[in-house]
Amino acid sequence: MARLRINRPMSATAAAFTAVLIGLLTLLPGVAHAENEVVTSEPADGTTLATSPTQIVINFTEEIGELRIVSLECNTDPITLPAPTLSGNSRVMTVAIPDALPRGLCVATWRVSDSDGEPNGSSLLSFTVDAEPAATTTPADEDANTSSNGSTSASAPATTSGGDAETKTVALNRVETGTGPLWLGRVLSTLGIAAVFGALVLIAAAWPEGVEYLITVRFLRAAWVLALIGTVLFTSAAAAAVTGSSLGSGFSPGAWFDLLDAGWAGRAALFRLIFVIASAWVAFRPDRVLDPATQAAALGIPALAVAMIGVGRVDGSLAALGLLLGIAHALAMAIWLGGVILLTRVVLSGPGDEDLVHAVRGFARISVIAIVVTIGTGLAQMLRLDGSDLFGSAHGLWTVLKVLLVAAMVFVGLSARQFAQKRLNRAHELTVPMADRLRRAFGTEAAIGIVTLLASSWLLSLTPANVTAEPSINYAITRTILVPEADLDVTVKLTRNSVGNSGLEVTINSPAEGLTGLEVMLTPPYNTVTGAIVQPVPLPGAGVATRSESVGLPIIVPGDWLLRINAQTAAGVVQSDPVLILILDETGATPTTSITIPEPILVPIETPTSPTSLAEG
C-alpha cells in the first residue's frame, strides 16, 4: 500500500497542544457497545402456559451476529434444541421446540454476539408449562434443516457411535445372544464344515478305503447339507444384523453383499458361504480327495471354508497375529472334531476288516497333533484377548468354562487313544465288543467337543477385557480447539476430508462441568451459496458425542472451511478463533478455487521518536 506523507511547518504551541490531546485520548477508556436487550419474547418471561410452546421467539434491539445459542432446561433436565434461526433484519431469533415440554418450570438461556462477532449479551427467560405432554410418536429427524439465513442446522448428534465397517462388525457380533438365528446358524455351519473337512483329512491320511463305503458318502453329504443350511442361516442373519433389517430381508442374496462393508467378520461370513457351496464338489465325490490330480483342490476348498471360521474375531491388540491364530485354531479344531465324529458315526458303527483298525490308529496319530495346535492357539488367543483378567468379565468366565471343557475332552480322548493303541496294536479286524467300547469313548469325546463348540460361538457375542466394546473409527480430520481464558478444550474429528456426509465426533476435554450450549460451526468457503453448518452438541460437561456418516454433516462444497466452537462456560459466552480445514473434491483432489485466508498485511507508520523531533518538525 502506497503511503502519502505531507510535511508542513508546525508551531511550538500547536505541537504542545497536540501532545497533550494525544495523552488525554490514550487515558480515556475504549468505547463500549451496549449489550443487546430483549424487546419482546414468546413465551414472555415469567408467564404460565396452558400447553407446551412449539418455539421460542426473542425480539432484540440490535442485530445479532453468528454466535447465537439457546439452551433450555425443564425441571433442571436439559432439553435438546436445534440451532436458532434469524429473521426480521437479524433482530428476531427463533428456536424450534421439537418435542412437547414436560409440566413444570422451564428456563431458557440465550447468548448472542453482535454483527462484528463480539459477545453482546446473555440472559435467562423462564416460563411454566401447566399441562402434561400428550403421548405422541416422535418422527425421525431429518438429516438437516435449512434456516432462513442460509445456515444449515444439522440434527442432534447421537450419543452412540455409528461408524461404518467396524460398527457393523460390532452389531453383527452383539446380535449373537441367546439362541438367535445368528448364533444358531454359526453353530450349525461350524459343525457341518468341521465334519466335512475333518472326515476328508482322515480319509486322505489314514483311511483311503473309506470312500468305498456307502455310509461314508452319506455321512459327507449329510454333513455338507448341515453346513449349507447353517451357513445360509448365518449369512442371512449377519446381513440382517449389519443392515438393521428383518431376518426375512436377510435371506435375499442381494443383502448378502452388504457384508462386504462389515469388516473382516462380514466378508468372512460371505466367503464362508461361497466356499461351503463349492465344497459340494468333493462332498458328493469324496474319491476326489484320493486322486493326486484333484487332491489339493478337494482338501483346499473345505479348508478355506474352515479358515473363514477363524476370521470371526479380528480385533484387540496384535490383530494380524490374532488372524493367524484364529485360522490355525479353526483348522486344528476341525481336524480333531470332524475326525472324531466320523470315527463315531461311520468307522465304529459296527465290526469290520483291518482297514477300520488302520482308520482308528491313523486318527490317533493325526489327532494328537491337532490337539496340541488347538490348545496352543487357544491359549495364545486367550492371553491376547483377556490377558490375566479371566474373572473380571463375562468373556473371561466363558473362556474359563471353555478351557475346562477342552481339558475334559482331552482327558477322555487320550484315554480312548491309549486303550485303542493297546488293544488294536496287533489286531487285524474290529470286533463287535471292541467297536462298541471305542464308539462310546470317542462318542463322549465328540459330545464334549460339540458343547465346546457351542461355548465358542457364544464367546463371539461377548467383549474380551483387552478389546473395546465400541468400534474404532478412522478419522480424516482432527482439530483441537482451545479457548484458554474459558478453560475450554474441545477436540473435533471428521470422518471425511472430502465432500459428502461426514461423521462427527466431539470430545470435551475440559471443563468437566458448567458447559452448556456447545455448538460446532462450519463456515464454507467464501463466494459460495452454501450456508454455515451449525451442529448443537447436547453435552452438559466432559464427554464424547458422535454422529455417524449416515446422518452426517452435509459438507457439499470443496475448499477452505472454517471451524469454530460456540459455548457458554463459567467465563461467559465464548466463540473460538476459526481453524482452517481443507475439504477436497469428489476425486480427492485439492480444488483449484479453494480460497485461503491471507495473512494480514502490516503497513508500518512512521511516528516521531521524541518530543524534540515533534517540535522541530
CA dist 213 and 499 (Å) reads 64
Q: Pairing state of beta strands 152-154 and 533-536?
A: parallel
Average pLDDT over residues 436-458: 87
Give the mean model confidence (pLDDT) for residues 251-280: 86
Reduced to 3 states (helix: H, G, I; strand: E, B; else coil), residue 104 is strand
pLDDT at 287: 93
Residue whose cell numbers read 457393523: 168
Q: Tell me how far apart the alpha carbons of residues 454 and 191 are, in angstroms, rounded to a whole number.
A: 10
| Exposure on the CB side of residue 124, measured as CA atoms within 13 A | 8
Backbone φ and ψ for 581, nearest 5 degrees, come out as -130, 140
Cβ(454)–Cβ(381) below 8 Å: no
Is 177 or 333 the better-scoring residue by pLDDT? 333
Structural domains of the chain, ranges and CATH numbers in brackets:
38-132 (2.60.40.1220), 165-459 (1.20.1630), 477-583 (2.60.40.10)
The more confidently predicted of residues 386 and 229 is 229
Report how far residue 239's alpha carbon sits from residue 245's, in angstroms, rounded to the nearest whole number: 8
For 48-156, where are the alpha helices, taking DSSP H only?
A: none
Q: Is 79 helix (H, G, I), strand (E, B) or coil?
A: strand
Q: What is the pLDDT of residues 584-594, one digit of tens each?
A: 988 888 876 54
Pull the grid cell for residue 293: 490330480
pLDDT score recorded for residue 156: 36
In angstroms, the CA 116 to CA 134 distance is: 43
Work out the average pLDDT over 149-165.
Answer: 38
Query: Which residue carries 448472542 as its cell?
Result: 112
Mean pLDDT estimate for the chain: 76
Residue 363 pLDDT exceeds 70: yes
User: What are the pLDDT digits (tens) for 3-58?
Assistant: 333 333 444 444 444 444 444 434 444 444 467 788 888 888 888 888 889 889 88
Report the candidate in 467, 461, 470, 534 with the shortest Cα–Cα distance to residue 82: 534
**Rg of the Cα trace of the chain?**
36
pLDDT of residue 541: 45
* 3-class SS string, 267-278: HHHHHHHHHHHH
* Better pLDDT: 9 or 467: 467
E strand intervals along 422-558: 477-483, 488-494, 500-502, 504-510, 516-523, 533-536, 543-547, 553-555
Cell of 505: 465426533
For 570-584, what is each residue's pLDDT tens digit? 888 888 888 889 989
Residue 476 CB coordination number (10 Å) = 15
Structural contact between residues 518 and 78, judged by C-beta atoms closer than 8 angstroms: no
Neighbours of 499 (CB within 10 A): 19
Q: Give the whole-number percent of the chain exceeding pLDDT 90.
A: 15
Q: Helix, strand, or coil here: 141?
A: coil
Give the per-residue pLDDT at 238: 84
Q: What is the mean pLDDT of residues 207-236?
A: 92
Of the ranges 28-42, 373-387, 526-540, the best mean pLDDT one: 373-387
* Set of cell numbers at residue 283: 462332498
Cβ contact 533:547 at 8 Å: no
Q: How far is CA 91 from the centre of its chain?
A: 42
Cβ-based neighbours of 104, under 8 Å, separated by 6 or more: 74, 75, 128, 129
d(CA 211, CA 217): 7
Asked if residue 109 has pLDDT above 50, the reply is yes
Residues 6+ apart with CB under 8 A from 179: none
H-helix or E-strand spanning residue 118? none
CB atoms within 10 A of CB 603: 8
The DSSP H or E segment spanning 76 is: none
Burial classification of residue 544, based on how many CB atoms lie within 10 Å of its CB (0-12 exposed, 13-18 middle, 19 or more buried)? middle
Grid coordinates 498485511 are at which residue? Answer: 601
Q: In this structure, is the dihedral angle defined by the CA atoms of residues 13, 17, 20 and 23, taken in order, positive or negative?
A: negative
Q: What is the C-alpha to C-alpha distance for residues 94 and 562, in angstroms, rounded to an integer? A: 24
Phi first, then psi: what are they for 148, rounded to 5°? -70, -20
At 467, the pLDDT band (50, 70, 90 cuts) reads low
- pTM for this entry: 0.54
Statement: residue 197 has pLDDT above 90: yes
- In three-state secondary structure terms, 313 is coil
Cβ contact 499:468 at 8 Å: no
Instruction: Report the pLDDT value the prediction gives residue 228, as an integer from 0 to 100.
Output: 95
Q: Which of 189, 214, 196, 201 is nearest to 281 (CA)?
A: 196
Amino acid letter, residue 286: P
Q: How far apart are CA 262 and CA 9, in angstroms?
A: 82
DSSP result, 43-58? SPTTEEESS--SEEEE
Summarize pLDDT for 312-322 with one digit per residue, the tens.
666 666 778 88
Residue 392, C-alpha cell as written in the block: 473380571
Residue 220 has pLDDT above 80, yes or no: yes
From 286-295, 314-323, 394-403, 588-597, the region with the lowest mean pLDDT: 588-597
Segment 523-533 shows an average pLDDT of 74
Q: Which residue has 433482530 as its cell numbers? A: 91
| Complete DSSP assignment for 501-528 | EE-EEEEEEE-SSS-EEEEEEEEPPTT-
